[in-house]
Amino acid sequence: MAIALSAGADSTALLLAARRRWAGEVVALHVNHGLQAAAAAFEDRAQQLARDLDVPLQVERLALTVASGESPEEVARQARYRALARMAGERGAAAVLLGHQADDQAETVMLALGRGAGLPGLAAMAPVFRRHGVHFGRPLLALRGQSLRQWLHDEGVAFAEDPSNADPSLTRNRIRQELMPAWERCFPAFRETVARTARHAAQAQALLEELARADLQATGEPPSIQALQGLSRPRQANALRCWIQAEAGRGPSTAQLETLLDMVQRCRTRGHDIRLKVAGGWIVRDGGRLRWTPPL
């Protein structure tokens, strides 16, 4: 079993619990993004913790390049999953466990609401998922961060504090510092109810994905324009979103999808062209079908 160890409180608690549950069968994986001054201190804390607990530790240091317009946090997150999957494969680990907990889940839902996200955003973080050929799990989603910190304190186990958590310029920190206390005053059990909302959204999203797969089987992949036109606009949107996600690795924006739907609706003659920049590439008309072409 592999534990993604940042050396913060949550992943430290997870490693401690995993070591007690699977003594001698646990390996810790640490990814050093090198994006903040505290990165070296986090790696040092991870090394010390692994020695204290007598757990093997594998470290991968990344040299990330963030292009103009890209989010450094998103670039780091994607690179982290790739690195964790790669290290887990090298270690022969059956799965990688992540330290996300109940506060993280509530923050994720609130962040999605603030951005006007659809069901995938409201579904927040899945308890289990597969990425880059590796199974990941989040066993702490029902536990509060404060309870994990208290347990570490009681056990006398130190952890690293991320200085970026105090940065008020980060939206997630403002949610944690301002919105969550207000929600707790109004709804003391809001973490549990927000988590339930996320589960409902995940179930609904799973049904939409099933419908999308059925519609794409009928339209073909890449989808036939004429077959798409036979679907209602919401089903067109659902099918196209699923198809673009599979092709490009990320979905279209709401504005991109609405423009594409308008183009599909108007495409009634042989000479009607479709060309739209979506998800970093282009969706074009190829005969009677749509085609996504990646960026050059």
Residue 222, phi-psi category: left (phi > 0), alpha (psi -120 to 50), beta (remainder): beta
pLDDT at 68 over 80: no
Return mean pLDDT, the chain.
Answer: 93
pLDDT at 295 over 90: no
Please give the CATH topology (third level) of the domain spanning 220-293. Answer: 3.30.465
Output DSSP code: residue 124: -
pLDDT at 69 over 80: no
Is CATH 3.40.50.620 the right assignment for the domain spanning 2-184? Answer: yes
3-state secondary structure of 2: strand
| Tokens at 204, concatenated | 């609904």
Q: What does the pLDDT read at residue 80? A: 94
- Sign of the torsion angle spanned by Cα atoms 162, 166, 169, 170: positive
pLDDT average, residue stretch 139-162? 96
3-state secondary structure of 246: helix
pLDDT at 188 over 80: yes
Q: Crossing angle of helices 9-21/145-155, nearest 10°?
A: 60
Residue with the two structure tokens 């690293």: 160
pLDDT band at 35 (very low <50, low <70, confident <90, very high): confident
Output DSSP code: residue 37: T
pLDDT band at 162 (very low <50, low <70, confident <90, very high): confident
Residue with the two structure tokens 């070296």: 40
pLDDT average, residue stretch 30-55? 92
259 vs 35, higher pLDDT: 259
1-to-9, 27, 101, 113 alpha-carbon distances in Å: 19, 6, 19, 34
Output DSSP code: residue 224: B
pLDDT tens, 212-240?
A: 999 999 999 999 999 999 999 999 999 99
Counting Cβ atoms within 10 Å, is residue 224 exposed (0-12), middle (13-18) or buried (19+)?
middle
pLDDT tens, 243-288?
A: 999 999 888 999 999 999 999 999 998 889 999 999 889 999 999 9
Predicted TM-score (pTM) of this structure: 0.88
User: What is the domain partition of the chain in residue ranges?
Assistant: 2-184, 220-293
pLDDT average, residue stretch 52-62? 95
pLDDT tens, 79-133?
A: 999 999 999 999 999 999 999 999 999 999 999 999 999 999 999 999 999 999 9
2-4 and 27-32: which strand pairing?
parallel
